[in-house]
Amino acid sequence: MAKQPLFRFYEGELKDILISWLVVSVAFGWVIKNSFSQIMQFPMNIIFAIVVAMIAVGTGFVFHELAHRTVAIRFGAKARYMMWPSLLILALIMAFLTGFVFAAPGAVYIFGEHINRKQNGIISLAGPVTNILLAIMFIAILMAATVFQNDIIGIIAASAASINLFLALFNLLPIAPFDGSKVFAWQPLLWAAIFFPLAAVVFFL
7 in a structural domain: no
Largest CA distance in the chain: 58
Confidence at 38, pLDDT banded by 50, 70, 90? low
* CA proximity to 125, closest of 166, 61, 63, 182: 182
User: Is residue 2 scored above 60 in pLDDT?
Assistant: yes
Using a pLDDT cut of 90, give the percent of the chain over it: 52
121 in a structural domain: yes
Give CA torsion, residues 70, 82, 1, 69, to 10 deg: 10
Residue numbers of the domain that contains 112: 13-204
2 in a structural domain: no
User: Is residue 205 scored above 90 in pLDDT?
Assistant: no
User: Is residue 104 scored above 70 in pLDDT?
Assistant: yes
DSSP E strands in 61-136: the ranges are 78-83, 106-111
Q: How many domains does the chain have?
A: 1
- Which pTM value belongs to this model? 0.85
From the list 11, 13, 65, 113, the catalytic residue is 65
pLDDT computed for residue 36 by the predictor: 63
193 in a structural domain: yes
pLDDT computed for residue 37 by the predictor: 55
95 in a structural domain: yes
CB 73 within 8 A of CB 110: no
Work out the average pLDDT over 43-56.
82
6 in a structural domain: no
* Cβ-Cβ contacts under 8 Å for 129 (sequence gap 6 or more): 67, 168, 194
In the annotation, is 65 catalytic?
Answer: yes
Confidence at 4, pLDDT banded by 50, 70, 90? confident
5 in a structural domain: no
Pairing state between β 106-111 and 78-83: antiparallel
